[in-house]
Amino acid sequence: MSILIDKDTRLLVQGMTGREGSFHTAQCVAYGTRVVAGVTPGKGGQKLEGIPVFNTVQSAVDSTGANVSLIFVPAPFAADAVMESAAAGIPLVICITEGIPVRDMLKVVRFLKTRNCCLIGPNCPGVISPGRCKAGIMPGQIHKGGSIGVISRSGTLTYEVVHQLTHNDLGQSTCIGIGGDPIIGSSFVDLLKLFEEDPETHGVVLIGEIGGGEEEMAAEYVKDHFAKPVLGFVAGLTAPPGKRMGHAGAIISGGGGTAGEKIAAMRQGGIHMVEHLGELGRTARALFGR
């Protein structure tokens, strides 16, 4: 099993005819994902690599039965793209776009509360269930099917962690980049709940970073509700206060959000922690490989 996406996923790509959208659509198709439609306003009726393009999400859903949307729409229009997919009844939206204004994301969050729609991202690498489906920009070849879930705020660190897991013969059930912006759709806790319910996920790796309170909330949830082993890493141990480190959400402010505080909270929650990324693979093998 996997969570969010699987071999039956019918993927729609918003912004498929653009440079990034067309390239990554081809990569998803090559991986084996069923990409059934693209959406670019004004280009309906065209085809890209045999995939039909529609003017609206609703017309694409009506014609193809698409049930997941992958968004490569430019930042000024991406919030509207998310809401268009949710309004069309798509239950899962994955937004790759970086740089969406916070004000726009506040509108998205409010809108999604009225819809049965799960948002992953924005500013994320997407979701992959190895050997089944890829909906994002991650390099598929480093992944291996298995029983370890991965949830990460950092796309690049996701790739490094997955590489170490695969190198240590630890396959993954589903790997999810939740995004590094201050306001995102799904949280660590949201996804931990799904992994807890998945019988084929036997453990989870959590990759955090400075800023916000995601890791602390995850620690509380693991302590009280999560029975499977969890391995954690927090990037930014040496980051100075007030400096943004890569992601818009990765900033220490108000005297909180430091890596040290997060590591301490996660340990108190029963999460096994590594402070040096190079140790993660062999630590995971000892924790999950028994």
The yes-or-no answer on residue 225 being catalytic is no
CATH 3.40.50.720 domain extents, the chain: 10-120
Task: Indicate the pLDDT class of residue 251, thresholds 50, 70 and 90.
Answer: very low
Bigger pLDDT: 259 or 115? 115
pLDDT at residue 239, as a whole number: 56
Mean pLDDT along residues 265-283: 96
Q: Which residues pair with 95 in a beta bridge?
A: 71
Half-sphere exposure of residue 213, counting CA atoms within 13 Å on the CB side?
A: 6
- Average pLDDT estimate for 184-208: 97
Summary mean pLDDT of the chain: 93
Q: Residue 180's pLDDT is what?
A: 86
Residues of the chain with pLDDT > 70: what percent?
Answer: 93
pLDDT value at 13 more than 60 = yes
Predicted TM-score (pTM) of the model is 0.93
Residues in the chain: 290
Is the model's pLDDT at 246 over the cut of 60?
no
Buried b (16+ CB within 10 A) or exposed e, 220-256: ebbeeebebbbbbbbbbeebeeeeebbbbbbbbeeee
CATH code for residues 138-288: 3.40.50.261
Question: 222 falls in which pLDDT band (50, 70, 90)?
Answer: very high
Q: How confident is the model at residue 259 (pLDDT cuts 50, 70, 90)?
A: confident
Structure tokens, 112 = 């999604």
Residues of the chain with CATH 3.40.50.261: 138-288
> Of the residues 202, 247, 272, 276, which is catalytic?
247
Q: What is the pLDDT of residue 111?
A: 98
CA atoms within 13 A on the CB side of 197: 7
pLDDT reported for residue 253: 46
pLDDT digits (tens, 9 = 90+) for 19-47: 999 999 999 999 999 999 999 999 999 99
Averaged pLDDT, 116-121:
97
State the maximum Cα–Cα separation within the chain, in Å, rounded to a whole number: 56
What's residue 254's pLDDT? 46
Q: How far is CA 187 from CA 53, 75, 156, 247, 254, in A?
A: 32, 21, 18, 16, 21
Read off the pLDDT of residues 57-99 as tens digits, 9 standing for 90 and up: 999 999 999 999 999 999 999 999 999 999 999 999 999 999 9
Residue 218 has pLDDT above 80, yes or no: yes
- What is the distance of C-alpha 75 from the center of its chain? 18
The one-letter code for the residue type at 267 is R
Residue 250: per-residue pLDDT: 46
Q: Is the per-residue pLDDT at 240 higher than 80?
A: no
Rounded to 5 degrees, φ, ψ at 117 are: -140, 130
In contact, 134 and 140? CB cutoff 8 Å: yes
The residue type of 211 is G
- 127-159 pLDDT, tens per residue? 999 999 999 999 999 999 999 999 999 889 999
Is domain 10-120 annotated with CATH 3.10.20.30? no
Distance CA 77, CA 87 (A): 15
Cβ contact 141:167 at 8 Å: no
Contact 149, 122 (CB under 8 A): no
